[in-house]
Amino acid sequence: MFARQRDVSLVRHLNREVMGNVITQQCALYQYKLEETKVNIYGEAAAEKFYNGPFLFNVLINRSSQQYPEDAEGIQFQQAIDFYFLRDDLVDANVVPNVGDIVLYQEGYYGVQSTVGNQYWSGKNPDYPNNDSDGKPNPLNPNLQLFGTNLSILVSTYYIPADKVAISPFKERF
Amino acid sequence: MNIPIYDGNPIWNPNATAFGFYNNDIEFQLDCIKVSRFITTRLGYPLMDVELQTSSIFTAFEEAITMYGNELYAYLIRENVLDLTGLPYANLDLTETIISPNFETIIRLSEQYGEEAGVGGNVTWYKGSIPLTSSVQDYDLKVWAKDQGITGSIEIKRVFFQEPIPASARYLAPFDGFGFGGVAAAGLMDMGGFGGAGGFLMMPLNYDMQVIQSIEMNTQIRLSNYSFEVHNNIIRIFPIPASNEGTYNCNCGNLWFEYIKRQERIESSVECAEGLISNVSNMPYQNPVYSLINSVGRQWIFEMTLAICKEILGYVRGKYSTVPIPNSEMTLNQADLLSAATAEKTALLERLRAYFDETSRANMLERKVREQDAVLRELDQVPRVIYIG
């Protein structure tokens, strides 16, 4: 039997080993607390924004080159980075990356502009076993929830200057 | 589902071994822990994860001990199969015994030759006779067997016929003054076989032998040679029987012979051996006692355990040629593990078998002879002093 949950467990071990002990790229995720952030009539948070976290994760990173475009304000800095999270790490931490969250990576802040969860091992997402609407197992292939895994979450980000984020340890604000 | 892997803290668990052959051995329990640390360290832990559980290592350890025992006892079985075949196996454990060689099986194996040579064997020889008829040379044994109510084939083993008197027993002019012949030669009358009263010249033995050969060759060539042939169940008698009185119609006596029933020769090959050791599979060797295995054997077992664990790990890592990681995939070292495990297992087995072969009874005796030769050569270097009295 292939891609059963026992195999998924092995894959999870291997991923955590290679991401945590071999590659060891880490980032911190700040989750935007929408309910505590006051916005104006335009939906802008002119005042403070509140975040949960940081949550530290081992990730795989695909960095694009730094760019330095010029505009009316002078020379700017831009860099887009894709962070690949092991989805099981996020599940264990009870964290769901969303647009608007902030990723801290190497002293730089990166705003989340999109998230993609599309890497299904063995081509199958166990969250959708195609059971009947009343909960009865799929008559053609029962127990499909035991096969495959939704492996990763791609978080695409863009660079945000630190002064615009204004994230700092809570104590320093007093 | 989260299947735990080795965490660096092996704990003895009697349910972890597949067969539990050695679970009651305290040293086995202790070595399970040590072997787990040894194996995982050799496989990269704690720098790298080892996707095994302690139960996998315990089972590999148990398998390695059993392999060692199998090789050892297979060697002992080969060494002693001839000495043990036929022994009752009930309540017998050869694991800790010393076996001395015996000839029983060798003799049983050679019974067939004895049977063919007429000096033993396990096939009954029967005696039969055919009345001879004057001037009739051929007699049908098949008809005779049928008349006797014998079913199946028979084989003539011996035919009794009148042979010429041996030269050594003939009465050949003992008074010629020279050593051989007649009553004297036969050792009768206490004359010792050296001629009659005419002379007591002792001749060389080779002379006696030449005289015997000359006399018997004369008999064989010049006189009727009593013999027979058997072809296609017909026995042909030489010379043609004739009546003692010289008439062809008289009774010429019987031709006596010994024969076997060929079916009995086949049946003699099979012996019911219920309850007896009959082949290598029911020789009562058990698994070895781990605590009695010395350091040489244990080190072999440790290395074999490592090879088996490499094999297991290779299969674990090799179920999928590539393993997915976020946005990519990776290839593990299953090929290296499997090739290394195969090579190491083969080398270990060859090493162990060579070691056992070197200590076989035959090799030890040969070694002893070489040692003795060497000692003698060494002693030859010592000057021999000649004492003159």
**What is the least distance, in Å, from the CA of B328 to any CA of chain A?**
9
Chain A residues within 8 A (CB-CB) of chain B? Answer: 2, 5-15, 17-19, 21, 59-60, 62, 82, 84-86, 119, 121, 151-154
Residue type, B116: E
Instruction: List CB contacts (< 8 A) between A6 and chain B.
Output: 1, 3
CB contacts < 8 A, A to B, total: 64
* B166-176 residues labelled b (16+ CB within 10 A) or e (exposed): ebbebebebee
Contact A21 B51 (CB under 8 A): no
Q: Which of residues 305-364 of B touch A (CB under 8 A)?
A: 316, 319-320, 323-328, 330, 332
Put simply, whether B158 touches A (Cβ < 8 Å) is no
Chain A residue with Cα closest to B6: A13
Q: Which residues contact B300 (CB under 8 A, 6 or more apart)?
A: B68, B348, B351, B352
Q: Which residues of B touch A62 (CB under 8 A)?
A: 327
The whole-angstrom distance between B100's CA and the closest CA on chain A is 54
Given A7, A17, A85, which is nearest B326 (Cβ)?
A85
- Reply yes or no on whether the pLDDT at B175 is more than 80: no
Across residues A50-73, what is the average pLDDT?
91
Are A144 and A130 within 8 A, CB to CB? yes
| Closest Cβ–Cβ partner in B316, B327, B332 for A154 | B327
How close is the nearest chain B Cα to the Cα of A152, in Å? 5
Mutate to test the interface with A, among B327, B328, B332 (most CBs of A within 10 A): B327
Which residues of A fall within a CB distance of 8 Å from B47?
21
DSSP state of A136: P
Q: What are phi and psi of B158, to 5 degrees?
A: -155, 140
pLDDT of residue A174: 46
B317/chain A closest Cα distance in angstroms: 9
Find, among B169, B99, B134, the residue nearest to B244 by Cα. B134
* Partners of residue A84 in chain B, C-beta under 8 Å: 326-327
- The answer, yes or no, to whether residue B234 has pLDDT greater than 90, is yes
Taking only the tens place, the pLDDT of each residue in A102-125 is 999 998 999 999 999 999 998 889
- Per-residue pLDDT, A47: 65
Q: A14 to chain B nearest CA, in Å?
A: 8
Is residue B194 pLDDT above 80, yes or no? no
Residue of A nearest to B313 (CA): A10
- Checking if the pLDDT of B190 tops 70, the result is no
Helix (H) / strand (E) containing B32: helix B26-42
Tokens standing for residue B328: 């990519």
- Contacts with B3 from chain A: Cβ below 8 Å: 6, 9-10, 13
Contacts of B1 in chain A (CB under 8 A): 5-6, 8-9
Cross-chain Cβ contact B327/A7 below 8 Å: no
CB contact under 8 A, B326 and A59: yes
- Per-residue pLDDT tens digits for B33-48: 999 999 999 999 998 8
Q: Compute the nearest-CA separation of B338 from chain A (Å).
A: 18
| B122-150 burial code (b ≥16 CB/10 A, e <16) | ebeeeebebebebeebebebeebbeeeeb
Q: Model confidence at A142, in pLDDT bands (50, 70, 90)?
A: confident
Does B301 contact A at CB distance below 8 Å? no
- pLDDT score, position B179: 45
Quote the pTM value. Answer: 0.73
- The mean pLDDT value of chain B amounts to 85
pLDDT at B235: 92
| Among the ranges given (A29-38, B26-35, B239-248, B374-383), the one the predictor scored with the smallest mean pLDDT | B239-248
Q: Do A14 and B316 touch (CB under 8 A)?
A: no
Q: B116-174, pLDDT tens digit by residue?
A: 888 888 899 999 999 888 889 999 999 999 999 999 899 998 888 666 666 666 656 55
Comparing CB atoms, the residue among B3, B325, B327 nearest residue A10 is B3
What is the dihedral sign for C-alpha B147, B150, B156, B161?
Answer: negative
Q: Would the CB atoms of A152 and B326 count as touching at under 8 Å?
A: yes
pLDDT at A173 over 50: no
One-letter identity of residue B268: S
Predicted confidence (pLDDT) at residue B177 exceeds the cutoff of 50: no
CB contact (8 A) between residue B326 and residue A121: no
Q: Is A165 helix (H, G, I), strand (E, B) or coil?
A: helix
Nearest-Cα distance to chain B for A28, in Å, is 17
pLDDT at residue A102, as a whole number: 93
Per-residue pLDDT at B195 exceeds 50: no
Closest among A110, A87, A88 to A100, alpha carbons compared? A110
Q: What one-character-per-residue DSSP string does B141-167 give?
A: HHHHHHHTT--S-EEEEEEE-PPPPPG
Whole-number average pLDDT of chain A: 87
Mean pLDDT over B328-338 rounds to 92
The nearest alpha carbon in chain B to A122 belongs to B324
Q: What pairs with residue B158 in β-bridges?
A: B258
Residue of B nearest to A22 (CA): B48
In B, which residues are within 8 Å of A61 by CB distance? none
Q: What is the pLDDT of residues A70-107, one digit of tens each?
A: 999 899 999 999 999 999 999 999 999 999 899 999 98
Mean local confidence (pLDDT), B186-205: 55
CB contact under 8 A, B326 and A86: yes
Q: Enumerate residues 6+ apart whose C-beta is below 8 A from B47.
A: A21
pLDDT of residue B248 exceeding 50, the answer is no
**Contact by Cβ (8 Å): B239, B164:** no
B327/A62 Cβ within 8 A: yes
